[in-house]
Amino acid sequence: MLVVMKHNASQEHVDAVVATIEDMGYSARPIPGGQRTAVGLIGNDGGVDSARIQGLEGVLEVIPVTQPYKQVSREWKEEDTLVTLPNGTVVGGPEVVVMAGPCAVESEGQIIDIAHRLREVGATILRGGAFKPRTSPYSFHGLGLQGLELLAKAREATGMMVVTEAIDPQGVDLVVEYADIVQIGARNMQNYPLLRRAGQAGKPVLLKRGMAATIDELLLAAEYLLAEGNNNVILCERGVRSFDNHTRNLLDLTAIPVVKSLSHLPIIADPSHGTGIRAKVIPMARAAVAAGADGLMVEVHPDPPRARSDGAQSLYPEQFEVLMDQIRIIARSIGRDLVAPLPSAVAL
């Protein structure tokens, strides 16, 4: 941490900064410069609360030099984390994975039918909401436990892995029982009791970036999971809040190479929530793969106009098929490939 003093800070001001740093248990190293003095804080483990120094007289600015996260950083672990699922799908390796399915599980027919169609064209992970956080208390909130049971049936029928969201600590326990990946949604990225429980879940976690979360905050949220002993964490860019209203969110694809340089964790993109509009999902899905995403999460519905939620951003199954063909080529253009489709036998 670097404490930058004001131009006209007195020696007393500098001394007070040094004393405060030492009182906090660190060493201080004054660095006189041409225009002003700075004081380095040495021995920082990333957990220093700069607030105490910030308020001292003569201090212009406190600049964090050490990153605030640890276990998620590439400096802590150089090699990529691979999240391996029971059906053989590996997230974070050279192959790009595709998670697809409806926004919400609506009925047995719906979820089994769509799972078969997605599996045929190469998706190996099935998404579908059972517990839906909704902006309005009067909207459809999902089938709950019944939704989880239907997802498990679809897994049995197709061999696909299941990813679904938990919205409170108790929900984590339920989701773990039925699904293969526990999803933490954007609205809950900083719901710390939920993160702690997910960190103890014993299954991989998909952590979505909050609507206005900086990349450092996303990594710190992931740090909660790793701090509980869960290293199987997949990050997900799904759009941030911005000022233009032609799309639901602003999909920040640059976050993908940024995260990959800062962290060893895999990161995928969700162009469905990232745009909110069917016609924009396909180009942005392609763009995410071109930007280096380790995977995609895409909403596909057998009959989008009749979807009970997010129909406007759900692809038709035929569109999804075209998309798979395009991203296979794009993945190969950068030396990757799509995860191999599940063998037919799995479904028996």
Between residues 22 and 156, which has the closer beta carbon with respect to a copy of itself? 22
How many residues sit in the footprint of a copy of itself (CB under 8 A)? 118
- Contact stretch for a copy of itself (CB under 8 A) within 84-92, 94-102, 120-128, 299-307: 299-307
d(CA 170, CA 227): 20
For position 348 contacting a copy of itself by CB under 8 A, the verdict is no
- Asked if 262 and 293 count as a contact pair (C-beta separation under 8 A), the reply is no
Among 93, 94, 133, 341, binds a copy of itself (CB under 8 A): 133
For position 35 contacting a copy of itself by CB under 8 A, the verdict is yes
For position 25 contacting a copy of itself by CB under 8 A, the verdict is no
Among 92, 142, 274, 295, binds a copy of itself (CB under 8 A): 274
Between residues 161 and 201, which has the closer beta carbon with respect to a copy of itself? 201
Backbone torsions φ then ψ of 85, nearest 5 degrees? -105, 160
Closest CA to 182 of 142, 217, 225, 214: 225
- Asked if 295 and 98 count as a contact pair (C-beta separation under 8 A), the reply is yes
Q: Nearest distance from residue 141's CB to a copy of itself, in Å?
A: 8
Q: What is the DSSP letter of 187?
A: G
C-alpha dist (Å) from residue 33 to 36, 37, 41, 113: 5, 5, 16, 69
Per-residue contact string for residues 228-257; x = within reach of a copy of itself by CB under 8 A: ------------xxxxxxxx--xxxxxxxx
Among 13, 117, 238, 278, binds a copy of itself (CB under 8 A): 278
For position 107 contacting a copy of itself by CB under 8 A, the verdict is no
Q: Which helix (H) or strand (E) holds 12?
A: helix 11-23
For position 145 contacting a copy of itself by CB under 8 A, the verdict is no
For position 18 contacting a copy of itself by CB under 8 A, the verdict is no
Between residues 241 and 340, which has the closer beta carbon with respect to a copy of itself? 241
Burial class for 238, CB neighbours closer than 10 Å (0-12, 13-18, 19+): buried
d(CA 271, CA 288): 8
